[in-house]
Amino acid sequence: MLDWLKAILGDAYTDDIDKKVSAEIGKGFVSRADFNTTNEAKKSLCSDLHFFDF
């Protein structure tokens, strides 16, 4: 549930609006967990490349 949206919309808030907003947000952003996983993989790869000392 998007509590921040409920606070903004008040009585106009519906579960359908919540689902639609959540779906649209998901199209333009990645989850924090996915970002952190990818970022850690990048750090590991960069560290591995420095090991070879090109």
Longest CA pairwise span in the chain (Å): 62
> Which residue ranges make up each domain of the chain?
3-52
**Angstrom distance (rounded) from CA 20 to CA 29:** 15
Contacts of residue 42, Cβ cutoff 8 Å, sequence gap at least 6: none
CA atoms within 13 A of residue 51's CA, in its CB half-sphere? 7
Residue 47: is its pLDDT beyond 70? Answer: yes
Q: Is residue 30 classed as helix, strand or coil in its secondary structure?
A: coil
- 11-40 pLDDT tens trace: 999 999 999 998 898 888 888 999 999 999
**Angstrom distance (rounded) from CA 35 to CA 43:** 12
Residue 1 confidence class, pLDDT cut points 50, 70, 90 = low
